[in-house]
Amino acid sequence: MSFFKFLFSKTFLIQLVLAGLALVLIIFIILQWLDYSTNQDQRIIVPNLASLSLDKVDERLEELELRREILDSANYDPDYPPYSVIDQVPLPGKLVKENRKIYLTLNPSGYRKVEIPENLIRRTRRQVEPTLRSLGFEIGTVTYKKDVAKDVVLELRHQGELLEPGSKLMKTSKIDLVLGDGSGRYGMEEMEETDEEQILNDLENDDYDF
């Protein structure tokens, strides 16, 4: 009976209240410590780093106590200065914690060179033009040359120079097309000249026979 009397005594109730307050205080202190150690209330707005050089990027990030890491360069974009930021993760305006790493993609110094594929000669214009454009080239002037097939690619040229399969040009370079005109007279001039020379030779030989 003495134990049950103690449970309902004033002394036990006071100790119970004090223990409860102590538990609440301990939990509050732990939560405050976790909140401080993980910087739950500290948020930094990610700045817009687009078009900035690395020197400017480092200055901005150092002020905000953020870090950076460079990813592989993307394809050259003429709208951005060389070696400037063209993409970033997280995006501008996002909230991050202190010391967060910002991943950056830089603009290369210029367009890369692309190889002229094989098997473009003697293919139709409809086949060749999409292939060249998909590689990043532009179509320049289109001229025609006597050939038995119409709109078949006979030559690829850049600034007047003949392009061979495997040649490399800077992306966005203009490639001129030389197409067949479908006249059916490809090589006829050379054949006619050869025939005329043969006839003259035959006549000269006949004269000697007389």
Residue with tokens 């950056």: 104
CA distance 102 to 85: 11
Q: What are phi and psi of 124, to 5 degrees?
A: -75, 160
Domains along the chain?
Answer: 44-106 (3.30.10.20), 113-181 (3.30.10.20)
Residue 56 is predicted with a pLDDT of 95
Residue 17 is predicted with a pLDDT of 79
CA distance 156 to 165: 9
Residue 50 is predicted with a pLDDT of 94
Q: Listing from the earlier edge strand, what are the strands of the sheet with 101-106?
A: 67-70, 101-106, 85-89
DSSP 136: T
Residue 206 is predicted with a pLDDT of 52
Q: Of 103, 110, 111, which Cα lies nearest the Cα of 57?
A: 103
Residue 208 is predicted with a pLDDT of 43
Say if residue 82 is preceded by a cis peptide, omega within 30 of 0: no
Identity (one letter) of the amino acid at 120?
L
Compute mean pLDDT per 10 residues along the chain, 210 residues long, and list them: 62 77 87 66 87 94 94 82 93 92 91 90 95 94 94 95 93 94 65 50 50
Q: What is the pTM of this model?
A: 0.51
Map residue 88 onto helix, strand or coil: strand
